[in-house]
Chain A
Amino acid sequence: MPTTSQMRWLAALCLSVWLLPAFPATAEGPIAVIVSPSHARSLKKDDLVLIYKRKKLYWADGGKVQPVNLPASSALRREFSQAVLGASPEELEKYWNDMYFHGISPPYVLSSEEAVLRFVAETPGAVGYVPFCSAAGRANVAFVISPAGHISEEVSGIECGK
């Protein structure tokens, strides 16, 4: 029989495991949804879900939409996924398996925010997301996703430290 002390340790261990964050810490600050210069005015808020679920594949001018993601372990990806698609990358695994069965692949994954910035700047029809302050002056910001998950077209008034 375990002693009272052992039981306390066990309870403390269970509690600490339960309280451990299941995922990496959240990204800090707002997220900028960025779009290639060729389609800076084409992206609508309602399109984001369809684009990142690969249901909208073309822009109105017939060009291909080329969405990119950060790795599933990225805190920024998790926040974007929750805010836009209402689900974590893990919760969307079934969706992507089902889509694969129909020959539809998920958005390409780029390994870093810098890679996303470059890809979107250089690829016609590209859409991505990076920390707002990384995008400032380097990319066309279509929307801003606040830390609370609110998606807005209003980009003014957000300050970035040096």
Chain B
Amino acid sequence: MFQSMRLPLLGLLLAAGMASAGEDFPLADYQPGHGWRVPGTGVRLGGYASAGFQNDRHEPWKVGANDLSLFLWWEGQGKLKLFSELDLENALAYEQGNGLTARHAYLALERLYADYLYSERVNLRAGKFLTPIGRWNVIHADPLVWTTSRPLITEHTFPTNATGAMVYGTLPLLGRDVDYSLYTALGKEWRPDPKLDPFEEAYGLHVTVPVSAGAEIGLSYANFEQRSSASERKNLLGMDYFWSRDRYEVSAELAYRFSENGSRSDEKGLFVQGVMPLSERWYAIGRYELYDRAGPSRVMNLGVLGLAMKLSPALIFKAEFSRAANNTIRAPEGLFTSFAILF
């Protein structure tokens, strides 16, 4: 089961074990959401977990563990950094009609990469990383987002992970600090999730520009082929927006994917999400999404209304109700709740 990731993981653990950072930071106490540093080393452990109840109208209801994700990273006094994330998905659930089951369990290699942190302007990354398209995909962990369900355009229009190389950093441009990532995916994906259609080859760019206090706009471009349709070269243009002030938030993403195969292969969509504080801990969330899948199906509309309770910066409880029109892909619809923690 772990054949394809045994070597890279072994390398990471060996490197982490051999190197002693010799840091003399005065504080090394554990704090939820900050991870735990193994004393006397540059190794840090952390992660997140989420569990919840799902009453999807297309499936039997279930309650169980959604994610148990472990981060392991190492950073010494030099410029090299190693990072890994293993995610045990759907480890255990109680399903209507099936009882207690672990048949959906899957151990995913989400990320495994080495960074060479040359400077704030230029850093190099090699390995498996999250595809920098839009904003949601690169911060998709349950404790970091406001809803249990995920907007369709953030995972259906492109492969969410890439194995390859990346150059990234922050550049001063017209008086603003512009974040960029320029990446390529070449060769075989490391431990590809069998549910997903990975990159066969890809290159792309994402930039984020602060536009005002608390607001930023991101632009994405990617050119890629996927394993299931390696002869079809796809282009994706995307835009993302995020604004926050006084605990209010507005975020939006737009994606338009096209290829040489004509407009029937085009896929496009957008979502807009708003978050409003109701009290010190409670928030109301609303999201509207429009998704036009490749092929002859009609445009899908999906609405989500939810509540979230932030128990601490690292702990969140979420409950939401979603309904869709023209849901030909059986995207999750119904009542969803989850409890998520960063540890």
Contact = CB atoms under 8 A, between A and B. Distances in A.
Nearest to B169: A55
What band does the interface of chain A fall in when counting residues whose beta carbon is under 8 Å from B? 20 to 34
Contacts, number: 68
Contacts of A86: 213-214
B198 interface: no
Contact of B25 (A87, A102, A108): A108
Given A91-B244, A108-B27, A101 B144 contact: yes
Interface stretch (A56-64, A131-139, A150-158): A56-64
B33 interface: yes
B260 interface: no
A58 B117 contact: yes
Nearest to B139: A98
A68 to B, nearest CB: 9
Contacts of B120: 50, 55-58
B170 interface: yes
Interface in B170-197: 170, 172, 177
Contact of A64 (B26, B77, B177): B77
A75 B87 CA distance: 40
A58 B79 contact: yes
10 contacts: A49-B177, A50-B170, A56-B170, A57-B117, A58-B119, A94-B144, A100-B35, A101-B141, A102-B138, A110-B26
Interface of B: 24-27, 33-35, 44, 46, 71, 73, 75, 77, 79, 81, 83, 117, 119-120, 138-139, 141, 143-144, 170, 172, 177, 213-214, 244, 247, 313-314, 342
Report, nearest first, the 6 A-B pairs whose CB atoms are least far apart. Answer: A56-B120, A93-B313, A103-B73, A103-B83, A98-B139, A55-B170
